Chains A and B, each alone.
Chain A
């Protein structure tokens, strides 16, 4: 059996293009971001969003698996 069999991967995307920003600025913002809530060790925020057919989807439904959420772009 695949050893990542219980991994749920969630990728947040938008129909968008790559963006660029000054590296130094980004590094400073990155440091600030890591200190902002929610931080490592805290529970993932609980809320309701939607499935693509418009039904309610609770982020608590992601429990039971390792989940990766990556924000990114499609193009």
Chain B
């Protein structure tokens, strides 16, 4: 039996460990290798090309499913994947298995996501209105510096549809490069080159000076666009200083071309607090699986996110997870995924 995972574009950038979409293939391959480590699985990974050809060829759906026969013909197509339906499909196609592998039989050796090389939570995240990613083409120069920082560009509906509205520019450090801001020098600056017919109030901007010498929070701007012609791309040029370790600091100048068009591969980024698990609520939800009402979960009652952590967090080794132990799972996820802490959960 052969299994593969396929790496495609990030559906929710910034959600786990503040990962951001790769710009070049080498970065995408590094993501796949990191995913392999994080899952702790021996299943090999395949990686979609940078033009997302496989994703596009199969309809760009988030949770679709295809079954292909040995001759390469599609024999089942589902808009949404349901494990029970898949099992039924496979039993129809190839027969019933002698033994069914259960979720708890798969001993995944889960590893923590990459940690940021400097503090997060130093600079407050911007609360932005509902927006969508717009098509953004990084200008990749041969032998140029790595994109230590990657732009996330999003626009309000009215800006995409009519050419006027808010434009979000978020400059995010890529954890894969393990770089942090160098706050001992000039803060990040951006400049938008305006084409004919474009009108933008704050076409240039500088990030606020940050007191600690380094951090890893994004530098974010909300730009007021009064006019952006549909067929005229904007060029955003950014200058920043980032360091890998204490001494290898780089002054970087890079550009991006933005188009007034929704990026169907951009995914849905999250802002502050995304991916944060409130420990008490997390435990309450998990305990909904407590079938016999004894106030704790046996391995057979545990599902989803908690399952891979059962043995690790069954501290007293009694074969059950109680509410306190489940809360520890939430704390582990919050620490290792570094989602940021929403205001209401911050300790006063």
Query: What residues on A are CB-neighbors of B34 within 8 Å?
Result: 15
Whether B25 contacts A54 by the Cβ 8 Å rule is yes
Bound Cα distance from A70 to B80, whole angstroms: 9
From A14, A33, A48, A52, B61 is in contact (CB under 8 Å) with: A33
Chain A, residue nearest B64 (CB): A71
Whether A10 contacts B1 by the Cβ 8 Å rule is no
Q: Which residues of B contact A (CB under 8 A)?
A: 1-12, 15-17, 19, 25-26, 29, 31-36, 38-39, 43-49, 53-55, 57-59, 61-77, 79-81, 86, 90, 93-99, 113, 267-268, 270, 274-275, 305, 337
* Cβ contacts A39-66/B at 8 Å (1 or 0 each): 1111111111111111001011011111
Bound Cα distance from A13 to B66, whole angstroms: 14
Whether A68 contacts B66 by the Cβ 8 Å rule is yes
Known contacts A50-B49, A52-B32; is A44 also within 8 Å of B68 by CB? yes
Query: What residues on A are CB-neighbors of B94 within 8 Å?
Result: 3-4, 6-7, 66
User: Nearest 10 pairs between A and B by C-beta?
Assistant: A30-B79, A16-B11, A12-B6, A8-B2, A16-B12, A45-B57, A52-B45, A50-B47, A10-B4, A17-B15
Query: What residues on A are CB-neighbors of B7 within 8 Å?
Result: 12-14, 52
Whether A11 contacts B4 by the Cβ 8 Å rule is yes
Whether A69 contacts B70 by the Cβ 8 Å rule is no
Q: Which residues of A contact B (CB under 8 A)?
A: 2-17, 19, 26, 29-31, 33-34, 36, 38-54, 57, 59-60, 62-75
Whether A13 contacts B12 by the Cβ 8 Å rule is no
Bound Cα distance from A6 to B66, whole angstroms: 17
Query: What residues on B are CB-neighbors of A9 within 8 Å?
Result: 1-4
Query: What residues on B are CB-neighbors of A47 within 8 Å?
Result: 49, 53-54, 57
Distance of A48 from chain B, by nearest CB (Å): 7
Bound Cα distance from A5 to B29, whole angstroms: 29
Whether B11 contacts A14 by the Cβ 8 Å rule is yes
Query: What residues on A are CB-neighbors of B79 within 8 Å?
Result: 29-31, 33-34
Can you list 6 residue pairs at the A/B interface with Cβ under 8 Å? A3-B98, A17-B275, A39-B74, A62-B68, A67-B67, A72-B62
Chain B, residue nearest A11 (CB): B5
From B54, B62, B270, A59 is in contact (CB under 8 Å) with: B54
Chain A, residue nearest B76 (CB): A40
Known A44-B72, A66-B70; further 12 A-B contacts with Cβ < 8 A: A5-B1, A10-B46, A12-B7, A12-B8, A15-B10, A19-B11, A19-B268, A38-B57, A40-B75, A49-B6, A52-B33, A52-B47
Query: What residues on B are CB-neighbors of A74 within 8 Å?
Result: 16, 35, 38-39
